[in-house]
Structure 1
Amino acid sequence: MPDHPSPAVAGVPPARIAALRAAAEAAYRARRPRTQARLAAGNDFLGGVPMHWMRDWPQPFPMLVARAEGAVIEDLDGNRLDDFCLGDTGSMYGHSPAPVAAAIRAQAERGLTYMLPTEAALDCAGLLSARFGAMRWQIATTATDANRFALRVARAVTGRPKVAVFDGCYHGTVDEAMICRDAAGRTVARPGLVGQVADLALSGTALPWNDLGAIDAALATGEIAAVLTEPVMTNSCMVLPAPGFLEGLRELCTRHGAVLILDETHTQSSGWGGYGRGHAIAPDMLVVGKCIAGGLPAAVWGMSPALADRFAAYDARRPSGHSGMGTTLSANPLQFACLQATLTQVATPGAHDRMEAGARRLAEGLAAAIARHGAPWHVARVGARVEFICHPTPLRDGAEARLAHHPALEAAIHAALVVRGCLIAPFHNMMLVSPVTTDAQIDRLTAAFDAVLAELFGDPI
């Protein structure tokens, strides 16, 4: 009997995916002899890298960065890439913005950490409220920490045990968010968790995105202290809220007495003040991390004045002892120096206007290439955040996002873009446009994407 070809992956023959990946890997190796030699010399990091996921990029070996400036990154071998990953949002405003670099130099001469506030720290609270809305703020080092602390407050003020998150969500490495829905709709731990022993369904409930009925039913149990969510699902395949969904979510949380926590760590790219403020969705708590201090590790979390009053009352009653919130190096003066510089000089309304215009140009260019080659894909955009999704129609929830995720195809595309001088996020198809990204860089990425599609969707084999 004749051999049958393997089924296409998102419209692409597997043989073409393999050929694209092989060619990209060969070119990547040929251009990085110094990097290969340095890695071959070995080191004492586990797996040879300081964080295990640095080996998960779809290249045959990690890129060693020599420097980065603006929206360009340069590796040890002198290869320069237009950077649309931007530290997966950590450097969303560009690498080392001049005001932030100056703030670091100035603060370094005054001390790096001393467990006491500064005048700049006091100024930053007002700057944050002016940007995101009136809140009572606290500072953390990462958004994971901020989310973890926010959940403690929500449980404290409600007296309820569980946290609701959405199937397919991303909130860092918070335990309560490491859950998903199985085929029967039950809450289970995400596959692949390392060293997991506790039953995460005891503390968390995974809900389907864009399903207000399911949310209503879950909140009606009286067990849910908080709903922790991004206003747009990211870090999977980007899934937008259906019209009225976020408004409905806000109303349901109010009706059932659950705390609504918006994690805008990624969606602050949607515009000045974030997605919630831009769409008049008022959360009870807000978390923002990654690029909030221009690339220096920092995160902020705040609660509405009403919730702050409730927490103050709880705090006055609780026994003295460890709160389980806070880390020694959080709220250090270096964070505040960079936060102040970012909020006043870098992440301005004008900067977000430039990001929006550039992202629109990128999304239109990618969509045109997809149409030109007849790919059954689409482009999603929220503010400065753009993704091509290897699925013909917009997605509704996390389950659809999982089905639209094609790791082998996406890895091949990423690798092929890298050897064409364009870096995008490695674990999904996210691209960010910074205030310093040029039209020429956007057009180079569009041209590279078009060339990759030509290889994947060219004449039949």
Structure 2
Amino acid sequence: MSAALIAGVDPARLAALAAREAALYAAARPKSAKALAKGAGVFLSGVPMHWMADWPMPHLPLIDRAEGAKITDIDGHVLDDFCLGDTGSMFGHSPPPVARAIRRQARHGLTYMLPSETALKAGALLCERFGAFRWQIATTATDANRFALRVARAITGRPKVLVFNGCYHGTVDDAMVTLDAQGRTVTRPGLLGQAADLSLVATCCEFNDLSAVEAALATGEIAAILTEPVMTNSCMVLPQAGFHDGLRQLSRHYGALLIIDETHTISSGLGGYSRVHSLSPDIFVVGKCVAGGMPTAVWGLTEAVAQRYEAANADRPSGHSGMGTTLSANPMQFACLAANLAEVMTPEAYAHMEKGAERLSHGLAAAIDRHKAPWHVVRVGARVEFICAPGPLQNGAQAAQAHQPALEAALHTGLVNRGSLIAPFHNMMLVSPVTRKRQIDRLIANFNALLTDLFA
């Protein structure tokens, strides 16, 4: 066996498995390959959105339909979908109440830059589900976070946002910072077309490090802390005991706002991590699946922060505020929001999701233990990850070191070949309200089969 193991795996064994699984995948999808060769060249890099190129398979499948917790490609392969649009379809593909709402609203217009009665219903449901915030509607969580930061700077008069190393807040420029070897905030390497020094508008700290947070806040430069309750879109990092209480106390002491982005952690339970764990953000953000898959995000201000915003807004000269997009808050979004919040995002749905995710996490952990792999499993409500490193992880730096791209790519392709689809950027799986026990057990069995090949 090779001495330089990759997360406990012999590199030669990994290379053999990766080559075998890639060949099996390519042989099984000739229609997709032919169609891509004929038509994908019109897109930059051959994909309509650049991150689609990050899927690890030899080429993409072309999807024919998605329903419930399954996806079918044009070659006829049916996949148990645990990626679920990387949370965009966390409640399943085209939930029937949302699909009905789309059909109804389509007969009454798609966008008209004015509210409807359904908008008022959706606003009341947002308060019922997430708390008594004063709401605004956006199309993506990136936009919602960007607008929230603009509000925070306007009402505090401060220039910087505090974010955590390895964080994920969509493509908000201000969050695209990291820590260098000397612990200084720098622009993330590889960021395209970045002209300005992002350390002028952002300060980066490690997650779970309250001492570093306090030192940054003590400068008096920080308008807001922008954080997920749990670090996601990396190897998942859980908050240590007292971390969120510390953030809340420090932000109040130093006069910074606390913005909690629940776009991924809405998996935690009804109302998101903040409601389940009694957090008290000044600004609350959630996107992706909040309207059942219709592109929608929401951001809400507490009453106290809303009053400060109204004062700042009243005092500014007339003209562009730097917030808002023409197609946001359209009637189709409100139709889907109302249907999803009232009929899909229910206590019963989350109970099913929690039970299934617990079954999945226990099954994956048992397979890891069976093969004595130096890996671990993390779960946040309906969201589960296996991480190819010992755990638990404490911060973004450890999460980056735990990432094993070659190993994860082979596992992803192997799972697809066996009928299970997980998220491409990390080893994330979601259990939806319509995910069946047999799908979960199939994923566990497929994972165990691949570990048998890697560790036998």
TM class, shorter-chain normalised? over 0.9
CA contact (8 A) 1:6 1:14 kept: no
Is structure 2 residue 14 aligned with structure 1 residue 11? no
Local SS of the residue matching 2:60? coil
CA distance in 2, matches of 1:10, 1:126: 49
For residues 411-450 of structure 1, the aligned pairs below 5 Å read 411-450=409-448
CA distance in 2, matches of 1:251, 1:125: 29
The CA deviation at 1:364 is 0.3
User: What is the one-letter code of the residue matched to 2:6?
Assistant: V
- Summarize deviations over 1:93-140 as a string: whole Å, max 9, x none: 000000000000000000000000011101111111111111000000
CA contact (8 A) 2:2 2:12 kept: no
User: What is the one-letter code of the residue matched to 1:390?
Assistant: C
CA distance in 1, matches of 2:449, 2:114: 54
- Summarize deviations over 1:169-212 as a string: whole Å, max 9, x none: 00000000000111110011111111111100000011111011
Residue in structure 2 matching 1:355, options 353, 356, 359: 353
CA distance in 1, matches of 2:73, 2:378: 30
Identity, % of aligned pairs?
A: 68
For residues 41-60 of structure 1, the aligned pairs below 5 Å read 41-42=38-39, 43-60=41-58
Q: Which residue of 1 aligns with 2:90?
A: 92
Taking a change above 3 Å as real, the CA distance of residues 275 and 413 of structure 1, as seen in their structure-2 partners, is: same
Residue in structure 1 matching 2:225, options 224, 227, 233: 227
Q: Which residue of 1 aligns with 2:380?
A: 382
Local SS of the residue matching 1:41? helix
CA distance in 2, matches of 1:234, 1:373: 26
For residues 3-402 of structure 1, the aligned pairs below 5 Å read 5=2, 7-42=4-39, 43-402=41-400
CA distance in 2, matches of 1:66, 1:245: 45
Comparing 43-52 and 152-161, the one that deviates more: 43-52
- Summarize deviations over 1:310-347 as a string: whole Å, max 9, x none: 00111110100000000000000000000000000001
Note the residue ranges of structure 2 that are not aligned, 5 or more in a row: none
CA contact (8 A) 1:137 1:303 kept: yes
CA distance in 2, matches of 1:371, 1:269: 26
Local SS of the residue matching 2:42? coil
CA distance in 1, matches of 2:17, 2:316: 60
CA distance in 2, matches of 1:126, 1:250: 26
CA distance in 2, matches of 1:239, 1:264: 15
With the length of structure 2 as denominator, give the TM-score of the two structures: 0.99
- Summarize deviations over 1:131-170 as a string: whole Å, max 9, x none: 1111000000000000000000000000000001000100
- Summarize deviations over 1:270-305 as a string: whole Å, max 9, x none: 000110111111000000000000001000000000
CA contact (8 A) 2:157 2:223 kept: yes
With the length of structure 1 as denominator, give the TM-score of the two structures: 0.98
User: What is the one-letter code of the residue matched to 2:18?
Assistant: R
The CA deviation at 1:5 is 3.3
Superposition RMSD in Å: 0.8
User: What is the one-letter code of the residue matched to 1:301?
Assistant: W
CA distance in 1, matches of 2:120, 2:391: 47
User: What is the one-letter code of the residue matched to 1:29?
Assistant: A
Note the residue ranges of structure 1 that are not aligned, 5 or more in a row: none
CA distance in 1, matches of 2:11, 2:145: 40
The CA deviation at 1:6 is 5.3
Poorly superposed stretches of 4+, deviation over 4 Å: none
CA distance in 2, matches of 1:19, 1:360: 32
User: What is the one-letter code of the residue matched to 1:13?
Assistant: D
CA distance in 2, matches of 1:305, 1:6: 60
Comparing 27-36 and 258-267, the one that deviates more: 27-36
The CA deviation at 1:353 is 0.6
CA distance in 1, matches of 2:271, 2:408: 32
CA distance in 1, matches of 2:390, 2:43: 42
User: What is the one-letter code of the residue matched to 1:240?
Assistant: L
User: What is the one-letter code of the residue matched to 1:215?
Assistant: V
The CA deviation at 1:413 is 0.6
CA distance in 2, matches of 1:442, 1:406: 24
CA distance in 2, matches of 1:300, 1:40: 39
